[in-house]
Structure 1
Amino acid sequence: MRYKNLFTPVKIGSLIIKNRFAMAPMGPLGLSDSQGGFNQRGIDYYTERAKGGTGLIITGVTFSDGKVEPQSMPNCPNSTFNPVHFIRTSKEMTERVHAYGSKMFLMMSAGFGRVTIPTNLGEFPPVAPSAIPHRWLDKTCRPLTKEEIHSIVKSFGDGAYNAKRGGFDGVAIHAVHEGYLLDQFAISMFNRRDDEYGGSLENRLRFAREVVEEIKARCGQDFPVILRFSVKSMIKDWREGALPGEEFEEKGRDVEEGLEAAKLLVQYGYDALDTDVGTYDAWWWNHPPMYQEKGLYRPYCKLVKEAVDVPVLCAGRMDDPEMASASIENGDCDMISLGRPLLADPDYVNKLRAGRVCEIRPCISCQEGCMGRIQEYSMINCAVNPQAARERVTAYEPVVRAKKVMVIGGGVAGCEAARVLAVRGHKPELFEKGNRLGGNLIPGGAPEFKEDDLALAKWYETQLEILGVPVRLNAEVKKEDVTAGGYDAVVVATGSAPKVFSLGDDGKVYTAAQVLTGETDCGDTTVVIGGGLVGCETALWLAQHGKKVTIVEALDKLLAVNGPLCHANKDMLERLVPYHGVETVTSARVTGYAEGVLTAVCGGKERQIPCDSVILAVGYREEDTLYRELEFEVPEIYLLGDAKKVSNIMYAIWDAFEVANHI
């Protein structure tokens, strides 16, 4: 059996986990009911991942304190808000999870403190160990009193006891990690107290120590308690994080102190360390976008594993099974935590065990459906899997009568529509005018850091082949092909085309797609017109390959329109662009390109930029011509994807799923 070491048991305390896979904790927004229990969506969501083979299910963050940082309900589950109700809903969930041989831990939080998302603050002033700046707001936090610390500690004992009664096999503590409240106490930059909770490392860890001691006292020494732990903070300064490879002076917790803290935390009673690096001031470390390399925490986990004698869990883009297997073999860690990959495909573990690796739907690290939607709408979902955290309401609709459906366009919208139609029992046929499936995933996936876009295109190819969907490439569909085909329904997903305009000397003016796919060579120096997501990623990729790149943007900043929804992605990309030597000219209007010189007006002054080429990245326009020709000729017709409205991968897939699931 390939990857056999990933399917051997492992122990946390006295608890045996059936394999080396854990579901990493991810914010359970939208999975709670008004009484702090788990709603039906939450129960279905976690059960689906257990059904998919994951050995250990760790919930997203829940609360036990309701006094110091009151939560708006329903938001996240709360194990002490209505204990009887929490125990009942938990028991219903854990019994289902246990049916699949999986174990389940409740993640319990001491609070957010200075990193509380502003929309969750309400009227309450943010708290912290000391009077320090809030992460997002220009406000100073209120120091916690000792009485409040003791109250939070007691609530942990109460909540853990309720979790144990509800069938949870252990708890995960949130967290001496990412700059949350317990971590703020642990880091001297944030903790300026002069009482027993400040000063020495032992004092700064006292809060975390009292938490585990309280839980063990209430639930027994053999009840597992693990800790989310960041061994290094990656803080350059307040609200300023370091980039990969950047030399900087650590203002937070450095590795040396991190390893000392790890030893103390294990000494205090923690049974495993779920290890990463970063803080909210360096958010792209804890929530790594596609611009971070895969398995970025492995070297840090290895250091922790060598320092302590309890299991170490490693997350952070660990979805490559070769990497995961090697990490166990090399002693980097004891367990592999999958977060977003289990949103994308809840059956990841079972598919891997069965040797069906090519059938695993890839996470593309866009963070649009997970962190982005948590951040903006207080709900967790997934861009590439519309059923994530909506399993029951998006179950495949049974087909009464199988229809012959023509799907025009092989981008993500067309592929998803054809896939869902086939799964349900319809008879789709897909037509693509190009020579491969994927649409804008193909140029979008050209940079090395976007490899998973190409993996998603390949996944759709595989799925349509398994489902027996006829796929006709190099087939440009005309109106008469549709009307003469005898189809019961037609889905038009003809995508979009890059916006172009003349600059005068257009022989060296290209679209971003032409450069990304290698259709054209941009030369050694180039100017990218447009500082949105496509422009910035194209510029970054070219700069990483040694090109001299300038971005010219009409607005006053980059990524001002249609940028990534998740701050971790947007903030990291904004910093990577100058870090890699890309010059940026904002509030500029391009007037022409001639004889190797681009002319732009900036601040009322004309500026000339010599360059070998100009790359247009100024957006896309809907390609809906065929739909307009057909909309009154075909009784049942649907317009999907960019052809309907230029957007992103997530909404192309979600809209296609919704429509195809109800045809």
Structure 2
Amino acid sequence: MAGFEKLFEPIKIGSVEIKNRIAMAPMGILGLSTERGGFSKRAEDYYVARAKGGTGLIITGIVKIENEIEKVHEGTIPCPTIDPSHFIRTSSEMVERIHAYGSKIFLQLGIGLGRVASPQMLACQPVAPSAIPNYWDPSITCRELTTDEVERLVKMAAESAAIAKVAGFDGVEIHAVHEGYLLDQFTIAMFNRRTDKYGGDLMGRLRLPIEVVKAIKKVNGENFPVALRFSIKSYIKDWNQGGLDGEDFVEKGRDTQEGLTIAPILEKAGYDAFDADAGSYDAWYWAHPPIYQKHGLYLPLTEQLKKVVNAPLIVAGRMEIPELAEKTLEEGKAADMINLGRGLLADPEWVNKVMQGRIEDIRPCIGCHDGCLGRGFVGKPLSCAVNPACGREIEYGISPAEKVKDVLVIGGGVSGMEAARVAALRGHKVTLYEKTGELGGHVVEGSVDEFKKDNARLLDWYKTQMKKLNIDVKLNTEVTPQLIEGRKPDVILVATGSKPIMPNVPGIDRDNVATATDVLLKKKPVGQKVVVIGGGLVGCETAISLAMDGKDVTVVEMLPELISSGLPVPHMNRTMVLDMLKFYNVKAVTNNSLLEVKDGAVEVIDRDFKRSTIPADTVVISIGLRADQKLYHEIADKMPNVYIIGDANKARNIMYAIWDAYEVARSI
């Protein structure tokens, strides 16, 4: 706790005292609700784990206040009003368990999704304040809500809050004048073209959030806290187009000045706290910041907000670095509480570890979204790329092994280190071999750029765990079948990783040809004009890195769009990379393949067999990775208990490298 005293000071929101200044940010629990709109046992265990980990305030993910006007498929999102008694039964025990750890819990009430509802989630036509295009499918026009329907939303918000109070929740948070959801759409002129009492001037557009808080206070009493999820600025450049930090554009949504104007009005209406951020679906990389965004990205905005409101200000935005969180509270200019979202998915014990002075043991979030929102949007349950037990804490935890085994791990990438870590935690004797002089595998080059430093933090965490668990790490040692035969281990985990795929074209062996790994690790010099072959995520990130260094970069991709093949890249990460490519003037040539590397140029060919030449001092190859399974095939049928994990199993991403390893190691 030394050096982090401010984080552990109590604070009040309305009449509710919270033991410290760390809140769990609201995150949707897709896949963790029941068919009747309650919380599943997995959801209960998920929230209780964060309370047990020391978090002062839990703010649940969104629950819908109704499921008739805007009907989503049952079981998608919790909803108190579908079956109030079921909701109370499934949430009251969860609340009681959370209270046992001294934590408080607010239920986040969602007024609706509106134009940002995915049509696949809905069992009806999308709705909105006005007849505007759906975000995900602009060919679909949202149905304008009637005045009677909007009034019913106010009634259902109050009814949901009353149910929450009966269930034992300490307060509610309204979702939201934030991120471009339905309530936010009512407040923004771009989306609200109504002529009734819920449209028109600023006060007309604010009528709905004002009526909501007043209705809740009327049924639950003035002392029942009502917080507001609030986006200070939208960052909307145009329909379905976001604006980057530092980019010159005209704000089409809510600009900072309007955000600072409406906040005091909403506070006066009765909101007891502001859970503040920025962004919208049109600029989703602000509302859900990927690895490319700065830590504390909202602080310049919340510093302005704090000057115009008196209610406690909770700030999120990649605040999971303890020193940043403490400094922000100490300065007192931009926040009164710290919201941790994905940081608590990655490590539910974040708070306890800070209090115990174990900062180095906090498992970092890497801003990938692969395990959380990325999974949710392809219909899979919430989890975390670096913490496979997230969202299934009890049933997928680590337990001691019944019999201690001699475990040999071959390969020191993240998959090998995760396997070694989990096996050691279970009590096995573990030896890890790495043929190079450094642990990390491909994540080493994936950590070089400033915008990828969270990957470096993950590698540092793994290296720390290797030491703390006394795992015998042998660097600069290539494992052979003979070495294994001499060791005779009980279990062999092959994590030999993957190698870059090189196209078989003329000139590929020229000196000016390099892999993305070579370029990022500066193993080869790079000229001024660079052509990157391969427009997947790695190719595009490498192109941005080179462009930031002042290079003239062109990406060549055989498909019609960049970042469109292989594993889906979560929407906020993909759109930010594409916008960064434009911002740094990276050119893209799609529907073309490499035909030949020439002196000072590459020749490419399109689908109509038309050839063209692109000047190139350096050619960077980034067309994918191939699993290195040589050793596995040499030993798999000769030795017992051999498993292949991570990229060696199939080249994918960090999440699957970790998840493969966790699954096998927790079971041996």
TM-score, scaled to structure 1:
0.98
Pair 1:270 & 2:275 matched? no
> Which deviates more from structure 2 when the two are superposed, residues 406-415 or residues 392-401?
392-401
**Superposition deviation, residue 444 in structure 1:** 1.0
Equivalence for 1:129: 129
Equivalence for 2:601: 597
CA distance in 1, matches of 2:251, 2:380: 32
1:228 aligned counterpart, secondary structure:
strand
Equivalence for 1:550: 554
**Superposition deviation, residue 562 in structure 1:** 2.3
1:398 to 397, 400, 403: 400
CA distance in 2, matches of 1:273, 1:172: 9
1:579 to 561, 578, 583: 583
CA contact (8 A) 1:112 1:180 kept: yes
Equivalence for 2:376: 374
Equivalence for 1:626: 631
CA contact (8 A) 1:273 1:311 kept: yes
2:382 aligned counterpart, secondary structure:
coil
| Cα 1:499–1:627 shift into 2, 3 Å | same
**Superposition deviation, residue 563 in structure 1:** 5.6
1:387-536 correspondence to structure 2 within 5 Å: 387-501=389-503, 503-504=506-507, 506-536=510-540
Pair 1:649 & 2:616 matched? no
The amino acid across from 2:116 in the alignment is: V
Equivalence for 1:155: 156
Deviations 1:92-140 (A, max 9, x none): 1111111111110000000101110121123x11111111111112111
1:45-444 correspondence to structure 2 within 5 Å: 45-122=46-123, 124-137=124-137, 138-330=139-331, 331-444=333-446
Equivalence for 2:544: 540
Equivalence for 1:616: 621
**Superposition deviation, residue 393 in structure 1:** 1.5
CA contact (8 A) 2:567 2:652 kept: no
Q: Which runs of 5+ in 2 are unaligned?
A: none
**Superposition deviation, residue 475 in structure 1:** 0.9
CA distance in 2, matches of 1:182, 1:378: 27
1:484 aligned counterpart, secondary structure:
helix
Deviations 1:141-183 (A, max 9, x none): 1111121112111111111111111111000100001111100
Q: Which runs of 5+ in 1 are unaligned?
A: none
CA distance in 1, matches of 2:286, 2:376: 18
CA distance in 2, matches of 1:267, 1:642: 55
**Superposition deviation, residue 397 in structure 1:** 3.4
**Superposition deviation, residue 378 in structure 1:** 4.6
> Which deviates more from structure 2 when the two are superposed, residues 11-20 or residues 558-567?
558-567
1:506 aligned counterpart, secondary structure:
coil
**Superposition deviation, residue 606 in structure 1:** 2.9
CA distance in 1, matches of 2:131, 2:483: 70
Runs of 4+ in structure 1 off by over 6 angstroms are: none
CA distance in 1, matches of 2:381, 2:245: 30
CA contact (8 A) 2:353 2:361 kept: yes
CA distance in 2, matches of 1:556, 1:142: 33
| Cα 1:207–1:159 shift into 2, 3 Å | same
Deviations 1:450-490 (A, max 9, x none): 11111111111111211111111111101111111021110
1:306 aligned counterpart, secondary structure:
coil
Equivalence for 2:570: 566
Deviations 1:351-393 (A, max 9, x none): 1121111110010000001110111115211001000001011
**Superposition deviation, residue 595 in structure 1:** 2.3
CA distance in 2, matches of 1:189, 1:531: 34
> Which deviates more from structure 2 when the two are superposed, residues 155-164 or residues 100-109?
155-164
CA distance in 1, matches of 2:307, 2:125: 41
CA distance in 2, matches of 1:128, 1:177: 15
CA distance in 2, matches of 1:578, 1:268: 42
The amino acid across from 2:131 in the alignment is: A
**Superposition deviation, residue 564 in structure 1:** 4.7
2:318 aligned counterpart, secondary structure:
coil
CA distance in 2, matches of 1:417, 1:314: 35
**Superposition deviation, residue 328 in structure 1:** 1.4
CA distance in 1, matches of 2:36, 2:231: 32
2:644 to 639, 644, 651: 639
Output the aligned Cα RMSD: 1.2
